[in-house]
Structure 1
Amino acid sequence: MSKRWCLLLALMVAGPATWAAEQAVKVVSPARFAIQTGDLSIGLSQDWRNPLPKVSRALIIVHGRLRNAQTYLKSAENAARHAGQNANTLIIAPQFLNDADIKRNHLDNTLLHWQGNQWMAGESSIGRGQISSYGALDKIIEHLGNRKLFPALNQIVIAGHSGGAQMVQRFALTGHDHPALKAAGIEVRYVIANPSSYAYFSPQRPVKFASDSCTGFNEWKYGMQHLPAYAAGRSPQELETAYAAKDITYLLGQQDTDPNHPALDKSCAAEAQGAYRLIRGHNYFDYLKQRHRQIHQRLVEVPGVGHDGDKMFTSPEGQAALFD
């Protein structure tokens, strides 16, 4: 058997998560955002190097496991146009490339990239410069706080679907404070659409399971054990208190109910959260409401939509979530 067929067989056995991580992206975003540790591949709806006096909202849209940032950029642009918000909204689509993308597209190794899907969990990039994927989001947020470039900005929305929603949920949980934004009157909101799993704050889970055969169920990115370096210096209790106070919308497709969806996380740690994405979202929201009676976060279902990022964000419910 050839090496190529051996690799294909190994990927099929390993499952959809590994397959998605190993397949090189078809389109690398053309723009670059310079960070001290390297350049981040990025998609933009407008050139943000020059002042944008009409922009009052910035939407950071995070791709899923396929790392198809340009696809998500177009979906967000369509949603903004349908909502009549394209003129005053700057859309930023960061692309968290991995090592396979660099090799197969013959990209410069200084371009920021991660090992497999580790960008979803906030791990550090690999190569010459190292930065957490969450730290890269922080750099984007800091750039948006530049009043010379964005004098009218009053809101930043960070949204993701599927694997991107997993990243956004964990980033909302561990994200660093940006006091300069508060001082400038810029609010930050999060939209988490159809993730396969969530990070819990305690060992409690909605589905019974054998903990002795699922030893990693409470480890990051499913729980608070072994938190990433990005979260250093803060206790799980501090993280939970901050998370519960944030403006978060959980956007769930009513038809995202396939327990055997090819991209669904089927690990025991994820299965302990529910059988499919819709119920996992409801279970997590109920869990939060039990722990925080006065929580002001919200859960919104999108009728007639399954696991489809474009349909989720361009739906009336998606437009309302993204554009307030």
Structure 2
Amino acid sequence: MPASRTVGLAAAACLFLSSGGNSALAAQPPNAATKESSVLDAPVKKIADQRITVKTPQGSGMLPVYADRPLNAAAADVKRVLIVVHGTLRNADVYFADGQLAVDEAGTAGAGTLVAAPQFLTLPDIAAFKLTPDTLAWTQEGWKGGDPALNPAPLSSFSAMDALLAHFSDRTLYPALTEVVVSGHSAGAQIVQRYAVAGQAEASLANAGIKVRYVVANPSTYLYFDQRRPSPDGSFQAATTTYCPRVNHWKYGMEQLPVYVAQQDLGDIEARYAARKVVYLLGMADTNPYTHFIDRSCPAMAQGPYRLARGLSYFKYLQGRHPAALNQSVVQVPGVGHDGRGMFGSACGQAAIFGQPLPASCPHLP
């Protein structure tokens, strides 16, 4: 489907919903919400076996992490770190394995890469595995947007990401490290995109001479910086709050910010984000408006009917706001839908992750 047609569909869905219509695109199949809730409330099947300490003025806690090296030991041969953030099921073991497979398949391009996969747990996970009281846990939705943890202290999931990235700035452990790639698929891409906006660890890595890139793959939604959303003619118009009062609230917009974000100087936060190296990796077949826990709330539907449309519209929005200073790009993956393994294992995905030239088969912007 041509990009212009996809963006048009996104805009049409936005206009219809924000004006109070009852679009079939926004409806759920019978019992879908109940089934999804049951799956999300269930504890995870595995817990990561390593820990990162997260310390802030609000307290401290431990973040479980998978990694293919001991995190407390020097790794002189590591040149790249690939952080892979799990999806809504918190199944970090699956995403860790996907990251390792992507490195193996990359061959020489993946040489010297350490894979790490943080795990953002919930209270049912803590209880099911009888984890130590200092293990961090959030609400099922809260970790995706930087909310404070419920246990053991109100630490933002963004603070946890800060701690993980800051760990890799230690030159006594990683003397040869040149870059950190922060990637996520689906719900993992939601937190990665917002963290790319608000995260504060990049400075410490830059001071150590380490570059940071972000790969945002097929998230349900994005953070908008003003009230405009896609409209049917391809432009962006102010979304009405009459029928969609949360359309501009965090994590969809810049109102009702979490503490981690609200405490920052917001004057240059958007310009800083535009300057960060971000690739939006979009599956060209990720066009189903119902599957894989897609956000179908009104604020989400104001961004478009399905993930591909939302991604293309968002990039067009950023291009309009930063025509000369946008250090970001879109890479589309032909034939792949909402499939993390398919995205990261594709030739297009591997080029995005490992900083290689894009194959001619990968549509991209700019």
Does TM, normalized by the shorter one, top 0.5? Answer: yes
C-alpha distance 63-262 of structure 1, shift in aligned 2 (>3 A): closer
Q: Distance in 2 between matches of 1:210 and 1:233?
A: 27
Correspondence 1:298 to 2:332: no
The answer for the alignment partner of 2:63 in structure 1 is 40
Paired amino acid for 1:292: H
Matches within 5 A, 1:184-203: 184-203=208-227
The whole-number CA distance in structure 1 between the counterparts of 2:194 and 2:38 is 22
Q: 2 CA distance for matches of 1:20 and 1:169?
A: 24
Matched residues in 2 for 1:75 and 1:265: separation? 24
Distance in 2 separating the partners of 1:17 and 1:168? 23
The alignment of Structure 1 onto Structure 2 pairs a total of residues equal to 313
C-alpha contact (below 8 Å) 1:54/1:87 kept by paired residues: no
Moved beyond 6 Å, runs of 4+:
none
Residue in 2 that maps onto 1:9: none
Match for 1:263 among 293, 299, 309?
293
Contact 2:284 2:334 in 1 (8 A): yes
TM superposition shift of 1:261: 1.8
The answer as to whether partners of 1:50 and 1:149 remain within 8 angstroms in 2 is yes
CA 74–177 in structure 1, closer or farther in 2 if over 3 Å, else same: closer
The 8 Å contact of residues 202 and 212 in structure 2, kept in 1 or not, is answered as no
How far off is 1:179 after superposition?
3.2
**3-state SS of paired residue (1:205):** strand
Which residue of 94, 100, 119 maps to 2:118?
A: 94
1:158 offset after TM fit, Å? Answer: 0.4
More relative contact order, 1 or 2 (CA 8 Å, 6+ apart): 2
| SS of structure 1 residue aligned to 2:230 | coil
Q: Which residue of 2 aligns with 1:27?
A: 46
**Which residue in 2 is equivalent to 1:253?**
283
Deviations 1:248-292 (A, max 9, x none): 000000100011224111001000100100010000000000000
Task: Give aligned-pair identity as a percent.
Answer: 42
Q: Deviation per CA, 1:156-214, whole angstroms, max 9, x where unpaired?
A: 11000000000000000111154332222111100000000001001000047653011
Aligned residue number for residue 7 of structure 1 = none
Q: In 2, Cα distance between the equivalents of 1:107 and 1:29? A: 11
Within-5 A mapping of 1:45-124: 45-84=68-107, 85-124=109-148
What letter corresponds to residue 335 of structure 2 in structure 1?
Answer: G
Distance, in Å, in 2 between the alignment partners of 1:270 and 1:245 is 25
Over the aligned positions, Cα root-mean-square deviation in angstroms equals 1.7
Match of 2:150 among 123, 126, 139: 126
Q: Does the aligned pair in 2 maintain the 1:16–1:262 contact within 8 Å?
A: no
Alignment correspondent of 1:5: none
Q: 1:20 to 1:237 in 2, by over 3 A?
A: farther
User: Within 2, Cα distance between the matches of 1:203 and 1:30?
Assistant: 42
Quote the offset at 1:235 in angstroms. 4.8
Q: Secondary structure at the match of 1:38?
A: strand
Against the structure 1 CA distance between its residues 167 and 19, is the aligned structure 2 distance closer, same or farther, given a 3 Å change threshold?
A: farther
Structure 2 Cα separation of the partners of residues 50 and 217 of structure 1: 46
Taking structure 1 as reference, are residues 167 and 15 closer, same or farther at Cα in structure 2, changes over 3 Å only? farther
**Shift of the alpha carbon at 1:60?**
1.0
The answer to whether the 8 Å contact 2:224/2:253 transfers is: yes
Q: What displacement does 1:232 show?
A: 2.7
Contact 1:196 1:270 survives alignment (8 Å): yes
**1:286 equivalent in structure 2:** 316
Q: State the Cα distance separating 1:20 from its structure 2 match.
A: 4.5
The one-letter code matched in structure 1 to 2:248 is: N
Q: Secondary structure at the match of 1:83?
A: helix
Which stretch of structure 1 is more off in the superposition, 244-253 or 173-182? 173-182
Contact 2:163–2:201 at 8 Å: present in 1 too?
A: no
Match of 2:303 among 243, 266, 273: 273
5+ residue gaps, structure 1, are 1-11
Aligned equivalents of 1:42 and 1:262: distance in 2? 24
Q: Match of 1:80, as an amino acid?
A: V
